[in-house]
Structure 1
Amino acid sequence: MSTPIPRLILAGLSGGTGKTIVSLALARAFERMGMCVAPFKKGPDYIDAKWLSLAARRPCSNLDPFFHTDEALHALLKHRSEGCDLSLIEGNRGLFDGKDEQGSCSTAELARKLDCPVILTIDCTKMTRTVAAIVQGCATFEPGLNLAGVILNRTAGERHRSVLRASIEANTDVPVLGMLPKMAANPIPERHMGLLSDQEYGSDRGGQKALNILAGMAEQWLDLDGILAVAENAPEFLPEPGPLFAGAAMEKTVRIGYVDDAALWFYYPENLEALEHAGAELVRLSVLDPTPWPKLDGLYLGGGFPEVFAERIAGNREVLAGIKSMSQAGLPIYAECGGFMILCDALECDGVRHPMAGVFPATTTFCPKPQGLGYTEALSLKDNVFHREGTLIRGHEFHYSVCLDEGMQHLDFTMKMVRGMGAGKGRDGLLYQNTFAGYNHIHALAVPGWAPRFVAAAQTLKRG
């Protein structure tokens, strides 16, 4: 049975062309019109996804052909779109940019897999007729791509906009769906890993003022009716996808804590849902708040910005000591990137050494440039409570810190990096007791055994 899902992808020619700002503006503008918008982000990304969820006032899911099978992509889009008026997907990097020269796993590939029309955002700074050539080239570069419209960004004035529109209309069949002026200032500032977190956004808590400013810009400068028509003209969705998670949801028998505060908040919603589906009651925690934690059967430490809050985390000795005690007691603890940094002996920032939980005798240091960036493939070298030996785990990494070599020869690494940097020297996945930590991020739908094994380990320890 076919399903109508009004949908579109907002793409760009490269990173930094303004597609995130346009995506946020459209999500909030349509939400202000009373529409239910299902937001999605293509590729491995937490920050843009968080802002999209704020703009649409609904959780944002990530879609990526590298992580997800075609069946998982269809299931995610279908289930997250149920009851919504519009599914809005923000692309990543350039439209045809993927993990190799063929553009594998690109935004264009995702558009073809989901039979989804594309609206291209173009930075028109110091260009006029050349933009028409770019549009025409993108429209015909790959068979099967439905380039349904363009949004022209950073235009200089009415004369500039007039020449741009006339050139595109005279030389292509692609409609212009809006032209945005240059912004005096970005209402959502950036830092080393992308947009500033909404949790650190000063008096505008949650960035609501900034999002409403962007919505007003969209209402003034973009053809919202035309953009909505593009989405509504998307083909009906085939085939009918299966469920997100295998089997029936289990009774909740264990409590797994996860840190969700300004320091650590990089979690795919499906990872948390997978744990709940497998039988976990989730408890939200903080490494910044000195409030004692409740009794737990397991702990999940996601990524984030521990380097920004290193002094506060280091001063929260009771919580750090509690984490080490849980690890020594054999509770299953899974830590990704920022969580891994907190489990080490220390975190160095700007020459200052901040003591952390001390589960692993290693130090991480924050660097001015990325130390690991992109898709990863990691081979599990030994059985542990999270991964079976021989499992090839697809994930991603994006970290500015590096794990120093001192003492690393004595550490137990459980993963060989087939693709990516990991903790260094082709290794990742430190293991102590049932504590697993590394720079690799995973998505639960790409590693379906992770959540059931995590919960089963917590159940075994609780019974024992």
Structure 2
Amino acid sequence: IFNNISEGYYRLLKAAVEKNCNLKVFGYIPKDERLSLESRHLGLIQSREVEDLNEKIELCSELVLKNIDMNMLLKFFKESPDFEDEYHLEDRGIKTAVACDKAFSFYYRENIELLEECGEVVFFSPLKDKCLPEDINFLYIGGGYPEVFIKELSRNKSMLNSINKSLSSGLNCYAECGGLMYLMEGIQGMDSGRIFNTVGFFNGKAY
């Protein structure tokens, strides 16, 4: 399936690929500015921040149905071999708190499912909640854009204190990218260049 090309270019590519690569071409998504998403440093604007997201999804579905041979595509996947997932984890009764809001949302669903196999997963918001969930055994803070929402994160001092106190008391934690930045002493804001206080568990500041 080709993406973001004109109809004429699609015909050229389809003929070349099917002739020379022995691959089936199912269709294409045409170039359409209405599908574009705004970008910022390090990536695109997240889906939850796109005001007309539903309209974009509806338009995309219309273009897919119009320009992709869905009957052939579905038939192709019906003929695919079954996939057996043999990798599972033991339920150890581990209760994991996962930071999830507009500041921290970069997660692979498969990782959350593996944590659910180990016990229970509860989500919390470093932006809005006042403290960590009760009786947790593990803390997971993924990536995101804490520098974009640093003013709100820094103002939530009760959450910062809750995380710092829990980590200092021995709570196991995995933090990556923006989550690791959040655990440092401070993060530089996007607008003013000012350093805003964060959890402070690790020495150093993120710029």
Shift of 1:258: 1.4
Q: Which of these residues, 93, 105, 110, is aligned with residue 270 of structure 1?
A: 110
| Structure 1 residues 275 and 224, CA gap change in structure 2 (3 angstroms) | closer
| Structure 1 residues 226 and 273, CA gap change in structure 2 (3 angstroms) | closer
Counterpart amino acid of 2:182? Answer: I
* Gaps in structure 1 of 5+ consecutive residues: 1-119, 123-152, 366-464
Residue of structure 1 in register with 2:135 after alignment = 296
* Gaps in structure 2 of 5+ consecutive residues: none
| Structure 1 residues 179 and 321, CA gap change in structure 2 (3 angstroms) | closer
Task: Assess if the C-alpha contact under 8 Å between 1:161 and 1:179 holds in 2.
Answer: no
Counterpart amino acid of 1:221? Answer: N
Q: Which of these residues, 47, 55, 66, is aligned with residue 220 of structure 1?
A: 66
Shift of 1:233: 3.3
The answer as to 2:5 corresponding to 1:121 is no
Give the 5 Å matches for 1:8-407: 120-121=1-2, 153-155=4-6, 160=8, 164=12, 167-168=15-16, 171-172=19-20, 174-202=23-51, 204=52, 207-234=53-80, 236-237=81-82, 241=84, 243-247=86-90, 249-250=91-92, 252=93, 254-278=94-118, 280-297=119-136, 298-350=138-190, 351-365=193-207
Counterpart amino acid of 2:126? Answer: V
Task: Assess if the C-alpha contact under 8 Å between 1:311 and 1:354 holds in 2.
Answer: yes
| Structure 1 residues 282 and 161, CA gap change in structure 2 (3 angstroms) | closer
| Structure 1 residues 220 and 290, CA gap change in structure 2 (3 angstroms) | same
| Structure 1 residues 303 and 171, CA gap change in structure 2 (3 angstroms) | closer
Moved over 3 A (4+): 165-176, 187-195, 290-294
Task: Assess if the C-alpha contact under 8 Å between 2:10 and 2:28 holds in 1.
Answer: no
| Structure 1 residues 326 and 213, CA gap change in structure 2 (3 angstroms) | same
Task: Assess if the C-alpha contact under 8 Å between 2:130 and 2:158 holds in 1.
Answer: no
Instruction: Name the structure where helix makes up a greater proportion of residues.
Output: 2
Task: Assess if the C-alpha contact under 8 Å between 1:188 and 1:210 holds in 2.
Answer: no
| TM-score, normalised by the number of residues in structure 2 | 0.82
| Structure 1 residues 242 and 168, CA gap change in structure 2 (3 angstroms) | closer
**RMSD of Structure 2 on Structure 1 (CA):** 2.8
Residue by residue, what CA displacement relative to the aligned partner does 1:286-317 show, whole Å, maximum 9, x if unpaired?
Answer: 11104444323332211111111111101111
Secondary structure of the residue aligned to 2:203 is: strand
Residue by residue, what CA displacement relative to the aligned partner does 1:200-257 show, whole Å, maximum 9, x if unpaired?
Answer: 123x4xx3322121001111122212222332333x34xx74632145x34x3x5331
Counterpart amino acid of 2:12? Answer: L
Secondary structure of the residue aligned to 1:323 is: helix
| Structure 1 residues 318 and 185, CA gap change in structure 2 (3 angstroms) | same
Q: What CA distance in whole angstroms lies between the structure 2 residues aligned with 1:340 and 1:357? A: 10
Task: Give the % identical residues.
Answer: 27
Task: Assess if the C-alpha contact under 8 Å between 2:105 and 2:142 holds in 1.
Answer: yes
Counterpart amino acid of 1:296? Answer: D
